[in-house]
Amino acid sequence: MIRPSHALLLVPPALAAQGPKPVAPPSEDAIIERFRAFAAPRSVTRRGPLTQEELNTIRRVKSVKKSVVGITALLLEKDPQTGAVTRKPVSSGSGFVWDAYGHVVTNHHVVTWEGPEGERITETPVVEVTLSDNKTYKGRLIGFSFAFDIAVVQVFAPLDQMKPIPIGRSNDLQVGQDVMAIGSPFGLDHTLTKGVVSALDRPIPTDYQTRILKGIQTDAAVNPGNSGGPLLDSSGRLIGMNTAIPAATGASVGIGFAIPVDTLNQIVPLLIARGALEPARMGFTVLSAYDAMQVGVNRGIVVDTVDPDAPAFRAGLRGVRRDARGNLIQLGDIVLAYQGQPIKDEGQLAALLEAERPKNDEVVLDVLRDGKVIQLKLDLKDKKPLPARI
């Protein structure tokens, strides 16, 4: 028998000095495979009750969902070879049900299309409105204001599917109170963002170089597609229509604007009843932007016809000349400026006429005629109804 004291003699001295041999750590693949066996759903941590603020927001959003719609504006394009007509979406946004008669309110720029330089050309011939149940119906533009960037669409949908939005006030808003914006940013329908009233009495610029007064500024995210959607207070009442974001960014940067509901409540009934506001009468029509471009005019507006005994006629404004077949043989005057402000298109001139009537009922037009710029003074006291927009 070997005695314990003799056991060390059986181990080489060098190995005895090294101690136990270290074990190599497991490889990454071994670790991965080992822990795969523990794959299982996590246990759910119990949630506490929703706050009163959360419950209020959820309730208000549900209550107005049927009042908020998506709007798509389309152009009709005809294939020159096959003659087939296709519908091309050119603009989209949001809107809300105004009353029990199928009227939907949105921004005017939502139902127009842009020209090559970003200018607003004209209203689109086809409007589609998508309700909260995702069903889409035909809409028809029945009223609009250039100056206030407001449009009214008659929607041909079952009236029981269209719930009028509750109307609030904007003249008693306070900076700091909670607001909610609902719309279809980037085509994502019924998207909710929250924020506060950041400021009041902000002038909001329009696409027609006019300004909407008493605008509401909010930090609720307002992105492309939110235009025309409702801005609500914490009671779920309409207090404004989301209408603009900083043009330089194209996306929300924590600053959004809304047309105040008090302005909407004044303008929308007029648009429903009349189709348009009643600006000062000038008494002439103009070529469409497309026709003007076809004859080489890319700035100002081309006078087409002048109504006899209207302010424009008495001031000497000249329209185009046509032959017996209606073909244009000579250009009319080209209006370049109104009251010293350059005019890009008919919509801008109409907006300026809507926004403010001169106190002395006299306006000055800068007109290009036979290669020279002249000024014509128009007396707008004539109250005769307009034959066209301007």
Report the candidate in 253, 223, 239, 122 with the shortest Cα–Cα distance to residue 177. 239
Residue 108 catalytic? no
Instruction: Determine the residue type at 352.
Output: L
As to burial, measured by CB atoms within 10 angstroms (0-12 exposed, 13-18 middle, 19+ buried), residue 65 is middle
As to burial, measured by CB atoms within 10 angstroms (0-12 exposed, 13-18 middle, 19+ buried), residue 169 is middle
What is the residue whose two structure tokens read 């889409």? 136
Residue 149 catalytic? yes
Element (H, E) at 353: helix 346-355
Alpha carbon of 314 to those of 36, 311, 334, 339: distances in Å?
90, 5, 17, 18
Alpha carbon of 203 to those of 79, 86, 200, 368: distances in Å?
44, 39, 9, 32
Annotated catalytic residue, options 91, 92, 227, 252:
227
C-alpha 296/C-alpha 115 separation (Å) is 15
Residue 323 catalytic? no
Report the candidate in 271, 258, 293, 280 with the shortest Cα–Cα distance to residue 183. 258
Q: Is 274 helix (H, G, I), strand (E, B) or coil?
A: helix
Annotated catalytic residue, options 67, 91, 92, 109:
109
- Between vectors from CA 149 to CA 147 and to CA 155, what angle results, nearest 5°? 135
Give all strands (DSSP E) within 156-190, no chain letters: 178-183
DSSP result, 63-129: HHGGGEEEEEEEEEEE-TTT--EEEEEEEEEEEEE-STTSEEEEEGGGGEEE-TTS-EEEE-SEEEE
- Written as six digits, the tokens of 101 are 């008669």
Instruction: Determine the residue type at 316.
Output: G
From first CA to last CA, the distance across the chain in angstroms is 124
Annotated catalytic residue, options 94, 145, 149, 307:
149
For the annotated catalytic residues, the residue numbers are: 109, 149, 227
